[in-house]
Amino acid sequence: MKQILKFLIKNRYFLLFLMLEFFALFFTIQNHSYHKSKFINSANGLTGSIYTKVNAISSFFNLKEENKHLIEENIRLKNLLEIENIDVSSENTHLDSTKFFKRFFYTSAKIIKNEYTKPNNYLLIDKGLKNGIQSEMAVINSRGIIGVTNNVSNHNATVISILNKYLKINAGFTNSDYFGTLSWNGKDYKTVQLLDLPRQAQFKIGDTIITGGKSNTFPKGILVGKIKNFEKTNNVYQIINITLFNDMSSLNNVNIITNLQRNEIQQLEKLNNE
Amino acid sequence: MSKTVENIILFFVALLLQVILFNNIKLFNYINPYIYIIFIIYYPLKKEKGLFLFLSFLLGLSVDFFSDSGGINAAATLFIAYIRLPLLSTILRKSDFDYLLFRLRSIPFLKSLTYIFFLTFTHHLLLYSLEYFSFNEFKTILTKTFITSLFTVLLILLGIILFTKKR
């Protein structure tokens, strides 16, 4: 007993070091698995409020850029309205709002922490549980896809950026129904990769990629980017590089999409699995 | 000012400078200097290093909280805090120190540069290895470690030269 005590006292710093290092590695490994709830994240009261205060100052510098984005979005929406002009003059048109089921609900938020140089990037937004944000909601802006919410606290939420190795999103083409998986190889923050595309899919450089709507997070048709280049061996597409429409290095205002049918779909999927 | 207050201020200044200012410096969209380890480099030498180890761990963990990175900063910072004393005694070829009178500015410049560079390099290597967590990315880890270390060392040297008195 005395020997053990002596040993403990003699090596107390080393043992303290080992213990703390064990904790640090435990948090690291936990962070590497995507779906687990995490203890270390920036969506808590203290870090959230500090980032909010800093952002209140720094957001003034982006006003010009943000104005440009808003004008761009306005123009895009006006053009969409022109395309889908409902002919109200015809007598056959009935607009009965009870017939339409609203499937998606949009909430606005602001990015208060942005990163894009790491292999796994996380963002922080200024809305949380109190604003109806939950985990696994889609985050987009006027130029397209940004990410999916992850940890949510009362006033803040972390977002897994599209620039994160653990995020896989279903995406496809505007002109055909083939779809693949969108992921990032951790290299360039302007390009992402489309994988698992069937070999009969036809496309060319410059085609627009949109979300496929096969998951219950993203609605169909959210903009992603343009095809930059692709490699093909034995008629199988290896890697398709996509230039993002979004500039991930300067993000400010975003929209969060709530899927109002999510519970219903999840229940159905549960029934299928049983 | 008493030494304890000075150390507490150093802790918070290092943390806030890192998360508010230096985490937003992405030089060439690539280099993100980690200057908060100036706390480990500058913390006074003591024979009792239990508190120092714990504070280093806490500092790393706080940076992790702000940057959603699990425990990579905590692990790397704790490691360099543990090897600090053996490293110094190897560089200065001394087995025992005059703990109270030791000042970083009082040792030869080349030796203190070696000390700062070695600590920074070890910290960054551990940090990026844990962040990428894959052997396939070994080349990326090494280049990133090397380039970022140079930049961090430069900033830390500037900080020490500007804000401390030469004795």
Could you report the predicted ipTM of this complex, rounded to two decimals? 0.82
- Can you tell me the distance from the alpha carbon of A107 to that of A143, in angstroms, rounded to the nearest whole number? 16
Partner-chain contact A28 B72, CB within 8 Å: yes
Which ranges constitute the DSSP H helices of chain B?
A: 3-16, 38-42, 50-67, 72-92, 109-132, 138-163
With CA atoms as reference, report the closest residue to B3 among B73, B51, B37: B51
With CA atoms as reference, report the closest residue to B34 among A16, A117, A162, A112: A117
Partner-chain contact A20 B78, CB within 8 Å: yes
- Can you tell me the distance from the alpha carbon of A168 to that of B110, in angstroms, rounded to the nearest whole number? 49
Q: Could you tell me the end-to-end alpha-carbon distance of chain A, in angstroms, rounded to an integer?
A: 55
Q: Which amino acid is at A21?
A: E
> 3-state class of A214 per DSSP?
coil
Position B121 scores a pLDDT of 92
pLDDT average per 10 residues of sequence, chain B (167 residues): 80 87 79 87 81 88 85 89 86 75 77 88 90 82 89 88 75
Position A230 scores a pLDDT of 82
Give how far Cα B43 sits from Cα of A12, A229, B87, Å: 20, 52, 15
Is the predicted pLDDT of residue A96 greater than 70, yes or no? no
Is the predicted pLDDT of residue A98 greater than 70, yes or no? no
Do A169-244 and A45-79+102-165+250-259 fall under one CATH topology? Answer: yes
In chain A, where the domains are located: 45-79+102-165+250-259, 169-244
Which residues, at least 6 apart from B119, have a Cβ–Cβ distance to it below 8 Å? B37, B40, B41, B80, B83, B84, B87
Partner-chain contact B70 A119, CB within 8 Å: no
B68 at interface of A, judged by CB pairs closer than 8 A: yes
pLDDT in tens, A23-55: 888 888 877 765 555 677 777 778 888 888 888
> 3-state class of B98 per DSSP?
coil
Are B16 and B25 in contact by the 8 Å Cβ rule? The answer is: no
Residue B31 DSSP one-character state: B
Is the predicted pLDDT of residue A84 greater than 70, yes or no? no
Q: Could you tell me the end-to-end alpha-carbon distance of chain B, in angstroms, rounded to an integer?
A: 17
Enter the tokens of residue A208: 């627009």
How many residues in chain A?
Answer: 274
Judging by DSSP bridges, how do beta strands A138-141 and A120-125 pair with one another? unpaired
- A152 or B30, which is more confident? A152
Position B123 scores a pLDDT of 92
Shortest Cα distance, chain B CAs vs residue A119, angstroms: 6
Residue in chain A closest to B57 (alpha carbons) equals A20
**Phi, psi angles (nearest 5°) of residue B79:** -65, -45
Is the predicted pLDDT of residue A85 greater than 70, yes or no? no
Enter the tokens of residue B72: 């990579």
How would residue A97 be classed by pLDDT, with cut points 50, 70 and 90?
A: low
Which residues, at least 6 apart from B21, have a Cβ–Cβ distance to it below 8 Å? none
Query: Of 3.10.450.50, 2.40.10.340, 3.40.605.10, 1.10.540.10, which CATH number belongs to A45-79+102-165+250-259?
Result: 2.40.10.340
Mean pLDDT for the stretch of residues A129-137: 86
- B61 or A235, which is more confident? B61
Percent of chain A with pLDDT over 90: 0
Mean pLDDT for the stretch of residues A180-201: 84
Partner-chain contact B70 A54, CB within 8 Å: no
Residue in chain B closest to A47 (alpha carbons) equals B66
A3-25 burial by CB neighbour count: b if 16+ within 10 A, else e?
eeeeeeeeeeeeebbeebbeebb
Partner-chain contact B131 A120, CB within 8 Å: yes
Position B111 scores a pLDDT of 84
B66 at interface of A, judged by CB pairs closer than 8 A: yes
Are B72 and B130 in contact by the 8 Å Cβ rule? The answer is: yes
Number of other CB atoms surrounding residue B111 within 10 Å: 14
Strand segments, DSSP code E, in A104-252 are 104-113, 120-125, 138-141, 144-152, 157-164, 169-173, 179-183, 191-195, 208-211, 223-233, 236-244
Position A95 scores a pLDDT of 58
Shortest Cα distance, chain B CAs vs residue A13, angstroms: 6
Is the predicted pLDDT of residue A91 greater than 60, yes or no? no
What rounded mean pLDDT belongs to chain A? Answer: 81
Shortest Cα distance, chain B CAs vs residue A15, angstroms: 10
Per CB-CB distance under 8 Å, the chain B contacts of A23 are 57, 71, 74
Residue B150: alpha-carbon gap to chain centroid: 13
Per CB-CB distance under 8 Å, the chain B contacts of A30 are 70
Query: Of 3.50.30.10, 3.30.70.980, 2.40.10.350, 2.60.40.10, which CATH number belongs to A169-244?
Result: 2.40.10.350
Between CA A237 and CA A246, with CA A243 as vertex, the angle to 5 degrees is 140
